């Protein structure tokens, strides 16, 4: 066998195995190429899968048009040869990234760089390409903050929008966490899925782009995806996508380092236990609320405030807590609130009126919004009997703290990591003093 034939055979083998390699990209690339169609996206993934950890910015990669078409199971026709050439040209011209340039921590300007530096088509069908040396940090020196999928997994996705959403999930997901929340404004989501030069009405975008992506990913094994419209009054301000999945970042492969594949040792097949859904624990509910609240409003929640909000949330029914907090977040946005105290005051009002469920929170909010108070003289009232706003409950004594409240406080402080701080110790001492006073009053009676 001569060298040329050996080289061709090695190329064929590499193409056959290409589906077992990993596509690895820097997180910011996941949001950059909304203009590409689905074939161009898959061709981009195909090209990036060539990269190995030993490569540098000068590495030149080689394939053939024939092998590209065979890999994507396309007919070897002149039409598809032209389609492939045009797709490579689009990748060369349509993958521009903006890179900020800093000097001594100060932004000096923005440089626009194409992901691909060169693409060469030979008359013999050979295709050679190189990536931009300016993006070496993004493509060749990946050490953290990346996402990785098997190329064969990406190639099964039919919709461009689903492919982008899958990559956004991988980019946002921390390690192999079960729940990942993606939040963005209408403008951001349309930029990610459509590109910067195309927009749609929010309702049309949700129906024809985002929801289609969600529906396709829900057909994938072990993925549950939901999309929620975020509003300020009647105006759509953005979307929240929640992805629930147990699947690992690298699918069936283990020992993967930036495209290098080490197959896991073969073992006798055993019955595989289906993963159990992670329970919606109080800490998961609160963590999701803090993250989504900060992403949506831009208002940061300190550790101290997290403790305070978590303690307030303990007063609501466990099954209703997530929905009540979501309603509070919605009202914060609807009323253009800017400070966290607005949210805390709202929760305190609901607790004062003994709110336990979402329906009760809505009733109290509507009553307050319509300036209806418990003191307003009227022969009839639409305020429910359980609320302290009801005239019959106006003189009810307030409940006093118990040791159970102390246990809740300790649990919350430990969960958010502030148990040993001076402020937390002082908070426990003050609560214990109130508990002792309450117990003393009870014993005297």
Q: What percent of the chain stands above pLDDT 70? A: 68
For residue 204, the model assigns a pLDDT of 92
> Which residue segment(s) compose the domain that 182 sits in?
3-261
Confidence of residue 255 (pLDDT cuts 50, 70, 90): very low
pLDDT over threshold 50, residue 4: yes
Best mean pLDDT range from 52-56, 128-132, 153-157, 291-295: 128-132
For residue 247, the model assigns a pLDDT of 65
Confidence of residue 232 (pLDDT cuts 50, 70, 90): confident
Instruction: Please report whether residue 416 resides in a domain.
Output: no
Instruction: For residues 257 and 334, state if they share a domain.
Output: no
Q: What is the mean pLDDT of residues 326-346?
A: 86
Instruction: For residues 209 and 341, state if they share a domain.
Output: no
Instruction: Please report whether residue 189 resides in a domain.
Output: yes
Instruction: For residues 193 and 226, state if they share a domain.
Output: yes
Say which range, 38-52, 131-145, 200-214, has the weakest mean pLDDT: 131-145
If one counts every other C-beta atom within 10 angstroms of the C-beta of residue 348, the result is: 13
Instruction: For residues 156 and 233, state if they share a domain.
Output: yes
E-strand ranges in 59-178 read 61-64, 96-103, 106-114, 116-121, 126-131, 146-150
Instruction: Please report whether residue 269 resides in a domain.
Output: no
Task: Give the residue with greater pLDDT, 261 vs 352.
Answer: 352
If one counts every other C-beta atom within 10 angstroms of the C-beta of residue 87, the result is: 20
Instruction: For residues 113 and 17, state if they share a domain.
Output: yes
Instruction: For residues 158 and 193, state if they share a domain.
Output: yes
Confidence of residue 327 (pLDDT cuts 50, 70, 90): confident
Question: Which residues contact residue 244 at a Cβ distance below 8 angstroms, ignoring those fewer than 6 apart?
Answer: 178, 179, 223, 224, 225, 277
Ranges of H-type helices in 251-386: 282-297, 303-313, 321-334, 340-352, 358-369
Instruction: For residues 21 and 140, state if they share a domain.
Output: yes
Q: What is the mean pLDDT of residues 349-368?
A: 86
pLDDT over threshold 50, residue 263: no
For residue 368, the model assigns a pLDDT of 77
Instruction: Please report whether residue 412 resides in a domain.
Output: no
| Mean of all residue pLDDT scores within the chain | 74
For residue 273, the model assigns a pLDDT of 37
Angle between helices 358-369 and 340-352 (to 10 degrees): 100
Against a cut of 0.75, is the pTM above it? no
Domain of 114: which CATH number?
A: 1.10.10.10
pLDDT in tens, 75-113: 888 888 888 998 998 888 877 776 666 677 666 777 777
Task: Give the residue with greater pLDDT, 232 vs 20.
Answer: 232
Instruction: Please report whether residue 387 resides in a domain.
Output: yes
Instruction: For residues 141 and 220, state if they share a domain.
Output: yes
Instruction: Please report whether residue 410 resides in a domain.
Output: no
Q: Which two tokens stand for residue 170?
A: 């991988």
The total of structural domains in the chain comes to: 2
Instruction: For residues 337 and 387, state if they share a domain.
Output: yes
Instruction: For residues 245 and 174, state if they share a domain.
Output: yes
pLDDT in tens, 122-139: 888 899 998 887 776 566
Instruction: Please report whether residue 405 resides in a domain.
Output: no
Task: Give the residue with greater pLDDT, 158 vs 360.
Answer: 360
Cα separation of 42 and 70, whole Å?
Answer: 14
Instruction: For residues 172 and 59, state if they share a domain.
Output: yes
For residue 154, the model assigns a pLDDT of 62
Instruction: For residues 159 and 42, state if they share a domain.
Output: yes
| Radius of gyration of the chain from its Cα atoms, rounded to whole angstroms | 28
């Amino acid at each position: 066998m001569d060298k040329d034939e050996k080289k061709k055979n090695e190329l064929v083998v590499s193409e056959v195995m290409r589906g077992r390699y990993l596509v690895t990209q820097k997180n910011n690339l996941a949001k950059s190429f909304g203009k590409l169609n689905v074939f161009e996206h898959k061709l981009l993934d195909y090209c990036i899968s060539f990269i190995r950890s030993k490569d540098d910015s000068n590495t030149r990669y080689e394939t053939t048009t024939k092998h590209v078409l065979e890999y994507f199971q396309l007919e070897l026709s002149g039409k598809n040869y032209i389609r492939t050439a045009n797709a490579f040209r689009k990748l060369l011209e349509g993958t521009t990234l903006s890179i900020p340039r800093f000097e001594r921590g100060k932004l000096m300007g923005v440089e626009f760089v194409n992901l691909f530096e060169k693409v060469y088509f030979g008359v013999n069908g050979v295709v050679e390409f190189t990536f931009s040396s300016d993006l070496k940090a993004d493509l060749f020196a990946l050490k953290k903050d990346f996402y990785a999928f098997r190329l064969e997994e990406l190639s099964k996705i039919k919709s461009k929008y689903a492919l982008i959403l899958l990559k956004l999930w991988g980019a946002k997901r921390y390690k192999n966490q079960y729940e990942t929340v993606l939040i963005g404004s209408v403008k951001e989501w349309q930029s990610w899925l459509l590109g910067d030069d195309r927009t749609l009405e929010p309702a049309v975008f949700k129906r024809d782009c985002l929801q289609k992506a969600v529906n396709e990913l829900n057909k994938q094994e072990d993925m549950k995806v939901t999309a929620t419209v975020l509003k300020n009054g009647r105006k759509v301000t953005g979307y929240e996508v929640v992805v629930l999945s147990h699947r690992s970042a690298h699918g069936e492969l283990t020992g993967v380092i930036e495209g290098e594949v080490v197959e896991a040792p073969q073992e006798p097949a055993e019955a595989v236990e289906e993963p159990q859904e992670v329970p919606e624990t109080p800490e998961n509910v609160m963590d999701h609320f803090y993250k989504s609240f900060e992403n949506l409003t831009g208002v940061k929640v300190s550790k101290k405030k997290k403790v305070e909000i978590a303690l307030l949330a303990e007063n609501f029914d466990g099954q209703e807590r997530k929905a009540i907090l979501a309603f509070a977040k919605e009202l914060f946005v609807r009323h253009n609130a800017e400070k966290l105290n607005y949210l805390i005051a709202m929760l305190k009002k609901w607790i004062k009126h003994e709110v336990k469920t979402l329906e009760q929170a809505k009733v109290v909010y509507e009553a307050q919004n319509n300036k209806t108070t418990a003191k307003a003289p009227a022969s009839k009232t639409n305020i429910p009997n359980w609320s302290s706003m009801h005239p019959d409950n106006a003189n009810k004594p307030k409940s006093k703290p118990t040791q159970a409240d102390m246990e809740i406080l300790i649990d919350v402080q430990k969960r958010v990591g502030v148990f040993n701080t001076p402020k937390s110790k002082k908070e426990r001492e003050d609560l214990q003093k109130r508990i002792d006073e309450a117990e003393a009053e009870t014993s005297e009676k």
